[in-house]
Structure 1
Amino acid sequence: MRLLGSAIDRIRERGGAVVVRGEAGIGKSALLLETGRAAAGHGVRVLGTTGVESEARIPFAGLYQLLRPVLDDVAALPGPQRDAVLAAFGRSDVVAPDLHLIALATLNLMGDAAARTPMLLVVEDAQWLDPASADVLAFVARRLEFEPVVLLAALRDGFACPLADAGLPELPLRRLDRTAAATLLDARAPGLPPAVRERVLAEADGNPLALVELPLTAGQAGAGTAWLPLTTRLVQAFAARVSGLPTSTRLMLLVAALNDGDLLTEVVDAASLADGERIGVDDLVPAIDGQLIDVDEERVWFRHPLMRTAIRQRSTIGQRHLVHRSLADVVRGDEDRKVWHRAASAAGPDEDVAAALDVAAANAHRRGGMEAAVTALDRAAALSIDPVRRGERLLRGAELAFELGRHDVVVRLLDQAGGIELPVRQRARIEWIRERFDDGIRSIGAGPRSLTELAGRAVADGEVDLALKVLWSAALRCFWTEPGRAARQEVVAAAERLPIEPDDGRLLAILVFAAPIERGAVVLDRLRHLTVSRRRAARLADAAMLVGAFDLATGFCATAIDELRAQGRLGVLARCLAAQAWSAAHLGELSVAIPAAEEAGRLASETMQPMMHATARVTEAMLAALRGDEETAENLAAEAERMSAPAGARPVLATVQHARGLAALGSGRYAEAYEHLCRMHDPADPAFHVALRCFAIGDLAEAAAHGGRHEQVRDVLADVEQLARVTSSPALHAGLRHARAVLADDTSAEALYEAALREDMPRWSFTRARTQLAYGGWLRRRRRPAESRAPLRAARNAFDALGVIPWSECARQELRASGETSRHRTSDARDRLTPQELQIAQMVAEGLTNREVGQRLYLSHRTVSSHLHRIFPKLGITSRSELNTALRMTVM
């Protein structure tokens, strides 16, 4: 109570969330109830919801229960958010709103209401919330720091739940010690015979509910029950209390236990229908008197969820079927609930019910309840009579489960479908879905080849879109693993035979992911002549990134990101942000890369994309290296390596070595830098990657030149020169121009430096500045200090503007050695602000309002305002109008 009470005491200054964990009966509900009373006494508004097993298949049931008191405020939300949350509750015709857009609407709805009166959200039995509600509340719980809102969730031990995986503070409840247990028992059951008292204390073992309930049935318990799990004994104790009730009361309790709602009228009507005689509310009085349930004018609910379990367990299958049929007849105005009761009452295949479940799945999908849609399709398949329809329902369920990241469900549904005699098209879909998991990382071998054969069968069957999806899976395998040249060529050949437009973004991405060198030139040429739409920009960004056109990639990403933010597609947004961060890092555009990498990592974690999370982390490692923060760079690189090494994810492992090489290079440890970077070029090394090694050739050459390894690097350089004859990759050719110059002898170096600097590459200022630095140093060492200063000055200024601190300091050292001093570099916004603060400052500097920034970053506008209150003092400013200037300042 002290811990939870302190959260309530400071609710007006800051919000948060706590997960209260413990076994059944440990006192979670009592603790939350008492906290709610204390909060109400402090003028805090209390809203609550309770997870119920039978409601878990109804999407957003728990969320609706929680938000019902504030739904009148929904009209004040921005249009897309308003439509999304109304669609989730079946009040809008918006099709399939993204879950995260619903979550943002929930956050703003709660935050706006709490701005008037601070709010406590109490979530009972979170383990039984419907998955859509649990996901939304996990999203909200992570973002309450700056809201006058506290969320408390009770979660039973041994259950999985998104709220348990949200990284929230936890309060574990333990059993009472012997003294406290005896005090409770004596208070609730005074006068027990000593032998019974000792037995109850021993069996309860400090569990409060057991100390209360076991004495009531101690005389009925058999001598052999003590060995049973405590939860089982509690269920038996509840069941024993039910067995003595009148028949009509027991029937009403069974109806209430099986109902997926809490309306008293439904319980009365269904019980009457099942019994054949009129049963009234008064028949519940014995259960109320026995403190098993509570009832008000409209609702009926159990005082403990184990009571539901006890009642279901003591009923027969026939009784449950009868009750579900009765509930299906009395439920009004909710076809989805009716069909679930029909499905629960079905003793065998029933195509009518299966078809109705199909509709329920479509409704759930339209509302954004993906998990509920999977459950409905799974049950529809089980009730299907026709094998082809059964297979189709299983496949649709597997595809939706894949989007949710539920590998276990996908495998189970596909295994069921695989045992049915299905048409060729459905069999192709089975194989394609199997291949999609992990982007083809773990299962390599003949994967790409089997997928190209599958694509060929799909095309022959007229399924071009399916063939494209299959070949994209094959191309991803080529990207993440190393299947060999022959497998790559087969993927390319199959893709180029498809009857689609040659500049289709899906085709370009397949070509470059499968064969980034061999098809680099043709893809780059098409990319440069495309008119880009927001819809296709994300895939085009992938293609541009892998061909080394980082300037094009960041532009495509910027186009796609705005649309993805508006749609709430946070899974795809995480990937696009990771691509933007990675490409901008290679360009040295840290002001773009730093916030993009941080957000990509955060969203990848929220959307359960481990390889995207690893990609974001290793990009952050590169950025830390470019900033001169070696400790952070190594910690992030090691984390990314741990995440990706078991899967053999070569792009991440290659970038780990690149990050380490940059960190060593920036601090002048050239031998170490060379060892890291040359691993990217060794085909036997897990860090070898056919494309990514090309983008570090300039770094490798620099490490070799400073470390006296000119001869050792020549074979690698010759190999990369060979690749450059095939592809027009801007990053590869820029790196090679730099490499040729720094490795050249005195007779040819100057001409090579000047040739490199004549290239017009306006977005490649980091690469150009590094060449200027190397050229200036070369001139100074040739005793031409006056000539060296101009390129060294240009390099210093560019490095300062980019924020690449080690290279700034190196340029200053070279200038001092040439006889010219420089002003000291002072910290800039990138030094003073966190990545998220930098991102918010940039958006506000562009003229966006707090609400607009919040909509883009999936934060409330109050959170944005709180960040600005921290940002202004850090930058030494007092108003939004000063942000532009503050963000541009890098030196005094």
Structure 2
Amino acid sequence: MESIVETMVGRESEQEVLSAFVAASGGRALVLRGDTGVGKSALLDHVAERATAEHHRVIRAAGVEAESELPFAGLHQFLYPLLSNIDRLDDAHRGVFDVVFGRGKGTPPSVMTLGIAVLDLLSLAASQKPLLLVLDDGQWLDTSSTEVCGFVGRRLTGSSAKLVVSLRSGVPSGFDTAALSELPVTTLSGKASEQLLDIHHPGLEPRIRRLVLDEAQGNPLALLELPPYVRGGRAERNPGKLFGYTGIPLPQRLQHVFGARIESLGEAVRAELLRGALDGVGAGTAADRTRGTRYRMRDADEAAACGLLDIDPLSGDFVFRHPLVRSTVVQMATPNERRAAHAVLAHVHRDDLERRATHLAASTVDPDEEVAAALEAAADFATLRGGSLAAVAWLTRAAELSESHEERSRRLGSAAYIAGHSGQMDQAQQLVRSGTGSGTDDSPASVIMSCYAAFLEDGDVRSSQRQVFAAIESMRDNGVREPDEVLIRLVDLLLAINQYASDETAWERAHQLLDDLGDLVPSHSRIYQDSWGDVVRRGAGVHERVEHAFAGLRDLEPWNVTWLCVAAYHVDTLSQYRPHLQRAVDREVETGAVSTAMLMLHLIMLDQIAVGEWDEAERTGQRCLELTTTHRLGLFVHNIQAYLGLLAALRGQVDRARELQAVVDAWARPRGISFLTQIADAIGTAAALAEGDYEAAYLHAIGISPPGTFQPYAHQAPRTLLDLVEAALHTGRTEQARQHALAARDANLPDISPRLALITYGALAMTATDPAEADAMYDRAETHPAGANFPFELARIQLAHGIRLRHTQGRKAARLSLTLAAETFQRLGAPTWTERARAELRAAGASPLTASAHLAGLTWQERRIADLAAGGLTNKEIGERMHLSPRTVSSHLYRVFPKLGITSRAALRDALGKIPGDQNV
């Protein structure tokens, strides 16, 4: 067939724009948008030819409607030809591609992480030869690939890579919000239409020529395809109504044209076309041909002869002349014909889990357990890759094809469970009703979803707790003997509810129930059991167990990743797992477990608060608050408000802190959500300490736990250890303060978490009457390896140490500790604490401004890196703690050395310790 590009008419302005697009220096992206058949593909051919003439490397891809739910299916088309360059990337980016291509293990990357890796790969490839990526039918690209392409397209400036995408008007696409430059592709003018028609179909009699021009309405594909249809006698019956009736859109009229040709073919050829159409033949790339991932149509010369197929010049394979031919073939087939074609394609893709499952599902009518199992496996795989929405659809279809009522109910329960985590509460409830046949059924699956929804949406811990307890006990009493996913989900839900209820009686009942279940409770749930309830009495060894669980990260569903991170938070080791959360959260917000993603954001915020990234924590909290409010999840809304209130209290924003405290307490207390009322009390404690109102601080602190003990199942009791001790000391309650510090030591809090070790040593130092014990405990706290990870607590201990030194050893001895405390409070943005430390510095005879002069040149990040390096950590270890690359850490240290007047890493510790003291001699 003659190339449309060779005879393209009426497209001078579009060709000029595209030629300039290719010739322009630097990277950029462009979207061509127009109706079906208007000539977008011809313009893509034109830009590809221009780029080839300009010595660009051209890689082409196309969206395939049948693959629009397969994560990264479209991106693979672009990246496969560039695989040889991936090994030249650094380890981090190479690892990202290994996960995407299934060559390695790990959590699927977020849009940002993968987008940055793709940008680096494109820049590397384009450094050898300018690169043009051409995407046809972008509206059918899968969601994951669309997001990455949009991210990359906005950031190509500065590289030698370009991206051009064609989209069909009227079909929603992720590119609609990608903010890429657009070039509208409209119909041809009357003069251009006549010219194109006369070039391809000269000698038409005037009446037929006018009829074609009227019907085509400037659409190039119609101008090319209608004349043979008319010549076949179709217009002789009713020239005024070429298609038998009027008012239908042009694409449907063109389908009549192609349909007439398809009807003329033999049965075997039509079957071959259908198999090709259902597998997206003609939409793939050279990479697809190399890998053999597309069905290869054979013995279809008859279809090529009547203009339905072309021959691919590179492979010699049959390809559809236009996407509309492909869709017409599918629409004309009977349901039985489509099912037969899907069955063949399922065999062709027998080694591809997701494609095989998709075709099996479409080929099957009657219940079939093998097909249902294949769909369930594909759903599991999709869930691990952040495709929870696709997983729900596959599990629902698997349930429809299940051979037994039990399997159908189980799979619908799984679909409902994932839908619930994806923020689709209404759909989850509907799926449960489908599985049970009743909206009021008390089956375990129904209990899971009804209680999960009531718990998240309205904070209903009391009735939810009763129902979940009853469901688990019923399964136990009915003799469940094998591990059961419904039972596990009930157990995990019970533990989550118990965490928020924080009720000792309920927890003890839960421990007894889980002991009865024995090995039916998996190791992950045992970690939640020991960390979410009473970490003081059950938290020893949890850190190691969490670390071991993360070793099997590839097999963890997103909610288990998140729940393990909750356990890590309770033992203050969340920082080492924050990269997993950051990689996953954007992906889950878009196409995965939305509810889980909100908890991921919440955990990221908590870690940012802990490590002193308070501005970032505020932004993360606000983003999470917007999401939770939009999805009307009342528990999460008030959970986020509680920690935003705590952050405000730490920063001395006491009015805002108390306002949020009141909101959280008023909502949580009537519902019996002690987890949140404890945080409300912690807000009151922190706000009072910030103001210096130690009496109020003490009263708030003992509301969480009385001095000398750590109230069972009160998660804030160990966390507010330092608060209670400080408030007690400042109000003359030295005996209570000492009693509480000793209780922390006797409870072995230092063995549970690094933060608890730090504040336990600090509390023992503050309350010690023996000078030798005080010095030893202060030294143990201030040199603790985890100190840099908890800067606010460390600064408070340094402030207390400085005050003690001023009173016991003189003003000079106090200046170093006081200066370090003032520096930290200032960097954190805690003005009331900063002023308190500066006042002590003045009392010690030093000017705070002078004392800070040498260190003021260090940014907060530089100072934290310097502290960690001074503690003996390698660049790699520092990078893991601060979520930076070793190269970035090295660059920061390169800037730190001259600021401190040193030339080696070995001099860091002395430089950081001596500068303030030397200044204040």
2:625 counterpart of 1:644: no
Q: Do 1:698 and 1:738's aligned partners in 2 also have CA atoms closer than 8 Å?
A: no
Q: Determine the C-alpha separation between the residues in 2 that align with 1:236 and 1:129.
A: 26
**Structure 2 residue aligned with 1:473:** 493
2:334 counterpart of 1:316: yes
Residue 594 and residue 793 in structure 1: after superposition, are their counterparts in 2 closer, same or farther (change >3 A)? farther
Q: Deviations over 1:820-846 (max 9, x none)?
A: 12233414344579x9x9999999983
**Structure 1 residue aligned with 2:599:** 612
Q: Determine the C-alpha separation between the residues in 1 that align with 2:213 and 2:141.
A: 33
**Structure 1 residue aligned with 2:728:** 740
Structure 2 SS opposite 1:451: helix
Q: Do 2:645 and 2:658's aligned partners in 1 also have CA atoms closer than 8 Å?
A: no
Task: For residue 578 of structure 1, report the CA deviation from its aligned partner.
Answer: 8.0
Q: Which structure 2 residue ranges, 5 or more long, are not aligned?
A: 1-13, 199-203, 283-296, 741-762, 769-773, 917-921
Q: Deviations over 1:511-530 (max 9, x none)?
A: 653xx4xxx2xx43332256
**Structure 1 residue aligned with 2:704:** 720
Letter in 1 for 2:373: D
Structure 2 SS opposite 1:740: helix
Letter in 2 for 1:690: S
Q: % of aligned pairs identical?
A: 21
Q: Do 1:18 and 1:168's aligned partners in 2 also have CA atoms closer than 8 Å?
A: no
**Structure 2 residue aligned with 1:547:** none
2:378 counterpart of 1:358: no
**Structure 1 residue aligned with 2:252:** 235
Q: Deviations over 1:5-42 (max 9, x none)?
A: 8886788x7x6877766665566545544443344344
2:719 counterpart of 1:731: yes
Task: For residue 737 of structure 1, report the CA deviation from its aligned partner.
Answer: 0.9
Which range moves more in the overlay, 240-249 or 691-700?
691-700
Task: For residue 349 of structure 1, report the CA deviation from its aligned partner.
Answer: 1.4
Q: Determine the C-alpha separation between the residues in 1 that align with 2:617 and 2:99.
A: 44
Query: Of residues 674, 697, 711 in structure 2, which corresponds to 1:690?
Result: 674
Q: Determine the C-alpha separation between the residues in 2 that align with 1:332 and 1:721.
A: 61
Q: Do 2:645 and 2:657's aligned partners in 1 also have CA atoms closer than 8 Å?
A: yes
Letter in 1 for 2:489: K
Q: State how 1:445-484 maps to structure 2 within 5 Å.
A: 446-459=463-476, 460-463=479-482, 466=485, 467-479=487-499
**Structure 2 residue aligned with 1:275:** none
Structure 2 SS opposite 1:121: strand
Task: For residue 343 of structure 1, report the CA deviation from its aligned partner.
Answer: 5.8
Q: Determine the C-alpha separation between the residues in 2 that align with 1:634 and 1:80.
A: 28
Which range moves more in the overlay, 398-407 or 766-775?
398-407
**Structure 1 residue aligned with 2:752:** none
Q: Determine the C-alpha separation between the residues in 1 that align with 2:860 and 2:323.
A: 52
Q: Determine the C-alpha separation between the residues in 2 that align with 1:235 and 1:397.
A: 36
Letter in 1 for 2:823: D
Q: If the length of structure 1 is used for normalisation, what is the TM-score?
A: 0.68
2:880 counterpart of 1:828: no
Q: Deviations over 1:401-438 (max 9, x none)?
A: 778777787566544433499x99xx535644675679
Residue 413 and residue 504 in structure 1: after superposition, are their counterparts in 2 closer, same or farther (change >3 A)? closer
Structure 2 SS opposite 1:48: strand
Output the aligned Cα RMSD: 6.4
Query: Of residues 87, 101, 122 in structure 1, which corresponds to 2:134?
Result: 122
Q: Determine the C-alpha separation between the residues in 2 that align with 1:573 and 1:338.
A: 28
Q: State how 1:228-377 maps to structure 2 within 5 Å.
A: 228=248, 230=249, 233-244=250-261, 247-248=264-265, 252=269, 255-259=272-276, 260-261=278-279, 280-288=299-307, 293=310, 295-296=312-313, 297-321=315-339, 344=362, 346=364, 348-349=365-366, 351=368, 354-356=369-371, 358-359=373-374, 362=377
Q: Determine the C-alpha separation between the residues in 2 that align with 1:567 and 1:883.
A: 40
Q: State how 1:33-182 maps to structure 2 within 5 Å.
A: 33-55=45-67, 62=74, 65-70=77-82, 99-100=108-109, 107=118, 116-129=128-141, 150-156=162-168, 164=175, 168-172=178-182, 174=184, 176=186, 181-182=189-190
**Structure 2 residue aligned with 1:549:** none
Query: Of residues 874, 881, 885 in structure 2, which corresponds to 1:846?
Result: 874
Q: Determine the C-alpha separation between the residues in 1 that align with 2:682 and 2:459.
A: 33
Q: State how 1:448-847 maps to structure 2 within 5 Å.
A: 448-459=465-476, 460-463=479-482, 466=485, 467-479=487-499, 491=510, 494-495=513-514, 497-499=516-518, 506-510=525-529, 513=532, 516=533, 520=534, 523-529=535-541, 532-533=544-545, 536=548, 560=550, 563=551, 605=589, 608=594, 609-612=596-599, 614-615=601-602, 618-619=605-606, 622=609, 637-645=621-629, 647-650=632-635, 653-654=638-639, 656-660=641-645, 662-663=647-648, 666=651, 670=654, 673-677=657-661, 690-691=674-675, 694=678, 700-701=684-685, 703-704=687-688, 716-722=700-706, 724-727=709-712, 729-744=717-732, 756-758=766-768, 760=777, 762=784, 763=787, 766-767=792-793, 769-770=795-796, 773=799, 793-798=816-821, 800=823, 803-806=827-830, 807-808=833-834, 810-816=836-842, 818-821=844-847, 822-824=851-853, 825-830=855-860, 846-847=874-875
Q: Do 1:350 and 1:383's aligned partners in 2 also have CA atoms closer than 8 Å?
A: yes
Residue 75 and residue 525 in structure 1: after superposition, are their counterparts in 2 closer, same or farther (change >3 A)? same
Which range moves more in the overlay, 372-381 or 238-247?
372-381
Q: Determine the C-alpha separation between the residues in 2 that align with 1:332 and 1:9.
A: 44
Structure 2 SS opposite 1:726: coil
Letter in 2 for 1:735: D
Q: State how 1:21-40 maps to structure 2 within 5 Å.
A: 24=36, 29-30=41-42, 32-40=44-52
**Structure 1 residue aligned with 2:744:** none
Q: Determine the C-alpha separation between the residues in 2 that align with 1:627 and 1:69.
A: 41
Letter in 1 for 2:256: A
Q: If the length of structure 2 is used for normalisation, what is the TM-score?
A: 0.66
Q: Determine the C-alpha separation between the residues in 2 that align with 1:839 and 1:116.
A: 42
